[in-house]
């Protein structure tokens, strides 16, 4: 058992490490491809050669990031087969189909048009080149779509039926999987967050050029384009974040409760604007969950259900089975977690019986067991929990990551608004050193914001690898913790090397650009 726990913990750590490193590169690829496409559009529409130079400058930085980031996501797929083999089998073709589509799009669409984008400047017409740049941006986003569809299915499994004979879920409705509200929200939230990240990157690098008094006009023009992309991105991120909150409240109410450090909910629930958690607080005890908090009245009810008077359950309520009725916004009783554990165990016993009946060729017993599995499948995963409290995620991690994401997002919104004002009114603002340093510091800030968002999404849904159906400890392979530990450190070394390579190549390129005119497109 200790070894199993070791395997689970190390496999989770390895997956988190890989995913977080992967997500350092991906949002910059998504957002920078859009910014480069807009810059090239300006070049084609105005015919000004200087915009060609500016486009090629940012395209080179896009290329450095793409080269470092490409294929880092494939390692996640390796991990499925090695560390998470039960999970990989259990999800069947549901995970496989979106990943296969992603592979086709990534390798054919992106690879084709990215080649034209980088190497076709003198080989194809201006308009064909521009189309290739836009198609690269589209391909990057579309390939993100399919991995996010797969992720959304894990958070809200739909469009499938479990087959006890194959021991895997079979997709029954592709469109229910691809167009689930969770998937749509997640896609737009993630892609537009990439716009924000790339915009902050362009703004920060351009601010550095302004500080160095190099390429001043090109830097100001780059800031202008990036600011509008960043502002559009952050507004869309907030809008889709609002949609995500509604989805989470319906599909993963425990995650929402953890995000808020909420143990006992009510109708007209306030939102914690700022707070310090009491880390000694446990479900069911009498301790106050917060040492200190500034609350926004009715805020959480509005966020979760778009209804100020609606009920929002806390962790204790959820364990007792109290959830929100999505139709009325009132409290409704569902099976308590104790009951769900029993239901899950009954489904697992029936699945075991199915296997025995199958070996004996007893078709009647197989049918009976299959029906029991089907009737109780909704809470199948609870059968692996020893106690209801195991269904509670790491509250402090989820709570603080959520606040860091929101606060960093708020600062970025403010930055883009100030920059818009600087563009429209007081152009001298971009001569202010303090302002330029704020722009440069927005680069680490936006990455912290982006990573925090994923921590909320993934740590907040623990212990589930598939919501309500499979916890991490059931998804794991029968392998040794030592082998996972070894590959964890191999990954840590490889990814850190890649990151150092990316940062050092980028810094050298940016530093060298200060000594030349980046508006000259033949360089």
Partner 1 sequence: MTIGKKLWALIIIKLALIFLLLRLFFFPNVLQERYDTDEERAEAVRNALTK
Binding site for partner 1 (CB under 8 A): 60, 63-64, 67-68, 70-71, 74-75, 78-79, 81-82, 85-86, 88-90, 165-168, 348-349, 351-352, 354-355, 474, 477-479, 483, 486-487, 490, 494, 498, 501, 505, 509
Least distance to partner 1, CB of residue 201, Å = 18
In three-state secondary structure terms, 171 is: strand
Least distance to partner 1, CB of residue 187, Å = 26
Output 92 or 253, the one with its CB closest to partner 1. 92
Output 165 or 375, the one with its CB closest to partner 1. 165
In three-state secondary structure terms, 22 is: helix
Least distance to partner 1, CB of residue 28, Å = 15
Least distance to partner 1, CB of residue 363, Å = 17
In three-state secondary structure terms, 161 is: strand
441-476 burial, b at 16+ Cβ within 10 Å, e below that, comes to ebbebbbebbbbbbbbbbbbbbbbbbbbbbbbbbbb
Q: Are 61 and 32 in contact (CB under 8 A)?
A: yes
Q: What is the phi/psi pair of residue 407, to 5°? A: -65, -45
Q: How many residues does the chain have?
A: 523
Output 115 or 421, the one with its CB closest to partner 1. 115
- What CA–CA distances, in Å, run from 410 to 187, 414, 450, 497, 513? 21, 6, 13, 32, 32
Output 306 or 371, the one with its CB closest to partner 1. 371
Tokens 């608004």 found at: 417
Output 65 or 398, the one with its CB closest to partner 1. 65
Output 64 or 210, the one with its CB closest to partner 1. 64
DSSP string covering 314-353, please? -HHHHHTTEEE-TTTSSEEE---HHHHHHHHHHHHHHHHH
Helical packing angle, 481-513 and 2-46, nearest 10° = 20
Separation of alpha carbons 89 and 67, rounded Å: 32
Least distance to partner 1, CB of residue 218, Å = 19
Least distance to partner 1, CB of residue 358, Å = 9
Output 44 or 76, the one with its CB closest to partner 1. 76
Least distance to partner 1, CB of residue 166, Å = 6
No. of H helices and E strands in the chain? 19, 10
């Amino acid at each position: 058992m200790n070894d199993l726990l070791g395997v689970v913990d190390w496999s989770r750590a390895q997956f988190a490490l890989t995913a977080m490193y992967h997500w350092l590169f991906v949002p910059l690829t998504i957002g920078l491809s859009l910014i480069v496409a807009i810059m090239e559009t300006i070049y084609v529409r105005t015919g000004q050669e200087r915009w060609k130079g500016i486009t090629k400058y940012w395209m080179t930085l896009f290329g450095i990031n793409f080269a470092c980031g490409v294929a880092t996501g494939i390692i996640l797929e390796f991990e499925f087969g090695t560390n998470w083999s039960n999970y990989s089998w259990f999800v069947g073709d549901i995970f496989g189909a979106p990943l296969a589509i992603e592979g086709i799009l990534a390798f054919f669409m992106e690879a084709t048009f990215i080649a034209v984008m980088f190497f076709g400047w003198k080989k194809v017409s201006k308009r064909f080149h521009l189309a290739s740049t836009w198609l690269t941006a589209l391909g990057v986003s579309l390939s993100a779509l399919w991995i996010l569809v797969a992720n959304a299915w894990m958070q809200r499994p739909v469009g499938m039926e479990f087959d006890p004979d194959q021991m895997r879920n079979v997709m029954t409705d592709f469109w229910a999987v691809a167009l689930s509200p969770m998937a749509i929200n997640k896609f737009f939230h993630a892609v537009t967050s990439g716009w924000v990240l790339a915009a902050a990157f362009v703004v920060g690098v351009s601010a550095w050029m302004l500080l160095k008094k190099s390429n001043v006009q090109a830097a100001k023009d780059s800031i202008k384009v990036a600011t509008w992309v960043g502002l559009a991105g952050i507004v869309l991120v907030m809008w889709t974040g609002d949609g995500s909150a509604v989805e989470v409240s319906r599909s993963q109410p425990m995650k929402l409760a953890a995000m808020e450090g909420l143990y006992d909910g009510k109708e007209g629930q306030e939102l914690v604007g700022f707070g310090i958690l009491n880390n000694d607080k446990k479900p069911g005890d009498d301790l106050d969950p917060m040492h200190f908090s500034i609350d926004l009245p009715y805020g959480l009810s509005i966020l979760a259900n778009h209804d100020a008077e609606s009920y929002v359950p806390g962790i204790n309520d959820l364990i007792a089975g109290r959830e929100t009725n999505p139709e009325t916004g009132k409290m409704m009783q569902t099976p308590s977690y104790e009951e769900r554990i029993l239901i899950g165990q009954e489904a697992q016993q029936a699945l075991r019986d199915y296997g025995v009946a199958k070996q004996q060729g007893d078709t009647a017993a197989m049918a009976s067991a299959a029906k029991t599995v089907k009737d109780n499948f909704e809470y199948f995963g609870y059968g692996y929990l020893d106690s209801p409290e195991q269904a509670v995620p790491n509250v402090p991690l989820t709570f603080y990551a959520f606040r860091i994401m929101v606060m960093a997002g708020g600062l970025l919104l403010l930055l883009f608004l100030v920059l818009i004002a600087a563009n429209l009114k007081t152009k001298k603002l971009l001569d202010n050193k303090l302002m330029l340093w704020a722009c440069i510091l927005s680069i680490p800030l936006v990455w912290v914001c982006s990573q925090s968002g994923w921590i909320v999404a993934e740590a907040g849904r623990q212990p589930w690898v598939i919501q309500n159906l499979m916890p991490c400890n059931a998804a794991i392979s029968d392998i040794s913790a030592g082998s996972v530990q070894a590959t964890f450190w191999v990954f840590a070394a490889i990814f850190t090397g890649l990151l150092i390579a990316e940062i050092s190549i980028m810094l050298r390129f940016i530093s060298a650009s200060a000594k030349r005119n980046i508006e000259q497109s033949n360089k």
